[in-house]
Structure 1
Amino acid sequence: MEPTIVVHGGAWAVPDSLAEASVAGVKAAARDGFAILKIGGSALDAVELAERALEDDLAAFDAGCGAVLNTDGEVELDGKTLAAGAVSSVRNITHPVTLARAVMEKTDHIMLTDRGASQFAESIGITTVPTDALMTESERREWEHYKKYAPEPNPFCSVRGHDTVGAVALDHRGNLACVTSTGGIRNKMVGRVGDTSIIVSGGYDDDQSGAVSCTGHGESIMKVTLARLILFNMELGNRVCLARDAVDVSLAYMGERVQGGGGAIAIAPSGDWAARFTTQRMVWATAKGESLFYGLDPQDMFEEKLSK
């Protein structure tokens, strides 16, 4: 198997002011994850490392520190790694993806939430931080502005309203893995859980079918269980259906049935991969062989050599 990793930084109306930093962020994350794959590391280790890089990238993303705030002005993060572990509504964890992996590997459960997730993190030595440590002054200002003025009805109009990041990978043993994490939607209700931490919606992984990480309007994604729908469409093609076709058909279905926009990255057991979206933009990057591919706008497919 030729190792491959694909990462995304969220499907939404990425403004020009964030474009350069967003592209740089996903390229760096893809390089980090691919470095693990090149030395024979596992797909799971690769996607976790890539995701941590995205969660730490304050210049472009806000799926960790700097996440959007709920109606009470609090951070609530969701994260998932398959197969299968998830956390939701955590407020004092810098890397929800690492905590989700621990749920998978160290418990008999699939999802922990809120206080229970924090208690588990402390019990296994994962560092917790004060809740205000994950807030940034810029996000606090955005939240105050949002509370003061009536928001536009379209959730994709919020400049930093969608901050989901994700990664999928195939290692040289043929194992697949996916991760997804998010800070959610600005001014969401306290306790709101989106698609990210829901198995088969925000992400799904089956070594026989493929791995998927989704982004976009969480409620729409959950209604159609988008990640599983994408893999179902890949399976209909007897595993020869192009990943991009499966993603395109599934996103079109979500748009038709529930008028939801979004995007997804996917990788098949064969190594065929896709990064597709129906929103205005989605930043993504793929590392495979000697090349790094990346894009932001529809039809983008830039390439540079990884040796650079």
Structure 2
Amino acid sequence: MRLSTVLFFAFLILSLSGQSQKKYTVVIHGGAGVMSKELINETARSEYKAKLNEALELGNKMLAEGATATDVVVKVINIMEDSPLFNAGKGAVFTHEGVNELDASIMEGRTLNAGAVAGVRDIKNPINAARAVMEHSEHVMLSGPGASQFAKEQGLEIVPNTYFYTESRYQSLQQLLKKERERTGKDNTGTVGCVVLDSYGNLCAGTSTGGMTNKRYGRIGDSPVIGAGTYANNNTCAVSCTGHGEYYIRLGFARDISALMEYKNLDLQTACREEINKLTNMRGTGGVIGVDKQGNIAMEFNTSGMFRGYLKSSGEKEIAIFENE
């Protein structure tokens, strides 16, 4: 065998070996809020963990097969959007008027390109619409009927608003209306998010939500706001938030985490904790997940629980609900 042939095969083997050693990470959340084992019984906990596991395993499979971070974020969030367990897609909460309005956003760390939709009532998977805005429009955020028209033109699945109905979410609205009180932290629970570092070294973050139970006047929270509920930058991290959105918007929460890493050289977990401390000082509640360019992860919150999990190419994996779990 000629030397050149030997060198070619040696190079090929080294290249394939290097490809197989590339690292990836997927992190997800399903909302943070006031939780207890009394309110969420063992059967419900098993259902939540099974769905979180399904989402993580899909992400792991896709990443192992070489999928991009953007593809993974969308498909993983679809799993949670299609489940009535979470306040996103099928399980979205009700507004004061008794309808479902959904928000979502996505951002790529390599290009800083982003897309979002807000206040939509008939798009089955809002995260898909957010991606379409990012990739097929000159805009970052579309809202209401205009976003729905755009989604139809993009061939996305449109459903009647009744598709999003779930009895538990409807009863939650009725209880709040009956008591004529402000919603409590437990109603924040359910917003979903995913952050990914793919095998090519690119980051992506996405968030999808039904917003707040009993919200009025077309209220929009942090989830569709780039830099508040979602942010990604290959130089620092990818972040998805969940909680009382007004506080996240005021803080520029997601972008601030990236800035703390960029300008103060903080590591991801320290930056997330510092931002959560700011949230706490403002008497806001919620949580955040993140992954940095090295694959380090963070899952921080100041509530009694957050549906959360992560899975790395090394096989390291965790799924949890309550604090200190």
Give, in whole Å, the separation in 1 of the partners of 2:224 and 2:80.
Answer: 17
- Tell me if the contact between 1:7 and 1:166 (Cα under 8 Å) persists in the aligned partners: yes
The partner residue of 1:77 within 70, 78, 102 is 102
Give, in whole Å, the separation in 2 of the partners of 1:225 and 1:206.
Answer: 15
Percent identity, aligned pairs only? 36
Distance of aligned partners of 1:162 and 1:185 in 2 relative to their CA distance in 1, 3 Å threshold: farther
The partner residue of 1:155 within 184, 198, 209 is 184
Give, in whole Å, the separation in 2 of the partners of 1:275 and 1:68.
Answer: 24
Superposition map of 1:129-208 within 5 A: 129-151=159-181, 153=182, 155-158=184-187, 161-208=188-235
Q: Which runs of 5+ in 2 are unaligned?
A: 1-21, 108-112
**Counterpart residue identity of residue 319, structure 2:** Y
- Tell me if the contact between 2:87 and 2:211 (Cα under 8 Å) persists in the aligned partners: no
Query: In the alignment, which residue of structure 2 is the partner of 1:296?
Result: 321
Query: In the alignment, which residue of structure 1 is the partner of 2:58?
Result: 32
Whether 2:298 is the aligned partner of 1:271: answer no
Q: How far apart are residue 237 of structure 1 and its match?
A: 4.7
Give, in whole Å, the separation in 1 of the partners of 2:77 and 2:150.
Answer: 21
The one-character-per-residue Cα deviations of 1:113-147 (angstroms, maximum 9, x if unpaired) are 00000101111111211111211233223222221
Query: In the alignment, which residue of structure 1 is the partner of 2:309?
Result: 285
- Tell me if the contact between 2:288 and 2:301 (Cα under 8 Å) persists in the aligned partners: yes
Whether 2:34 is the aligned partner of 1:13: answer yes
The one-character-per-residue Cα deviations of 1:17-41 (angstroms, maximum 9, x if unpaired) are 3433222222211111121111111
Give, in whole Å, the separation in 2 of the partners of 1:167 and 1:73.
Answer: 28
Whether 2:137 is the aligned partner of 1:107: answer yes
Query: In the alignment, which residue of structure 1 is the partner of 2:238?
Result: 211
The one-character-per-residue Cα deviations of 1:72-95 (angstroms, maximum 9, x if unpaired) are 001000000113000000000110
Give, in whole Å, the separation in 2 of the partners of 1:254 and 1:139.
Answer: 27
Whether 2:67 is the aligned partner of 1:41: answer yes
Distance of aligned partners of 1:3 and 1:246 in 2 relative to their CA distance in 1, 3 Å threshold: same
Q: Partner of 1:296: helix, strand, or coil? A: strand
| Higher Cα Rg, which structure | 2
Give, in whole Å, the separation in 1 of the partners of 2:254 and 2:45.
Answer: 26
Equivalent residue pairs, number? 293
Query: In the alignment, which residue of structure 2 is the partner of 1:304?
Result: none
TM-score w.r.t. length of structure 1: 0.91
Structure ranking higher in helix proportion? 2
Whether 2:93 is the aligned partner of 1:68: answer yes
Q: Which runs of 5+ in 1 are unaligned?
A: 301-308
Whether 2:245 is the aligned partner of 1:245: answer no
- Tell me if the contact between 1:12 and 1:156 (Cα under 8 Å) persists in the aligned partners: yes
Query: In the alignment, which residue of structure 1 is the partner of 2:10?
Result: none
**Counterpart residue identity of residue 247, structure 1:** C
The partner residue of 1:2 within 23, 30, 35 is 23
Please provide the CA RMSD for this pair. 1.4
Query: In the alignment, which residue of structure 2 is the partner of 1:303?
Result: none
Whether 2:127 is the aligned partner of 1:97: answer yes
The one-character-per-residue Cα deviations of 1:132-185 (angstroms, maximum 9, x if unpaired) are 12112332232222212233x462044xx4321000000111000000000011
Give, in whole Å, the separation in 1 of the partners of 2:168 and 2:294.
Answer: 43
Query: In the alignment, which residue of structure 2 is the partner of 1:255?
Result: 280
- Tell me if the contact between 1:163 and 1:184 (Cα under 8 Å) persists in the aligned partners: no
Q: How far apart are residue 245 of structure 1 and its match?
A: 1.1
Q: Partner of 1:54: helix, strand, or coil? A: helix
Give, in whole Å, the separation in 1 of the partners of 2:248 and 2:153.
Answer: 33
- Tell me if the contact between 1:162 and 1:185 (Cα under 8 Å) persists in the aligned partners: no
Q: How far apart are residue 246 of structure 1 and its match?
A: 1.1
**Counterpart residue identity of residue 216, structure 2:** M
Give, in whole Å, the separation in 2 of the partners of 1:272 and 1:229.
Answer: 18
Give, in whole Å, the separation in 1 of the partners of 2:34 and 2:222.
Answer: 19
Give, in whole Å, the separation in 1 of the partners of 2:279 and 2:252.
Answer: 9
Query: In the alignment, which residue of structure 2 is the partner of 1:53?
Result: 79
Distance of aligned partners of 1:70 and 1:96 in 2 relative to their CA distance in 1, 3 Å threshold: same
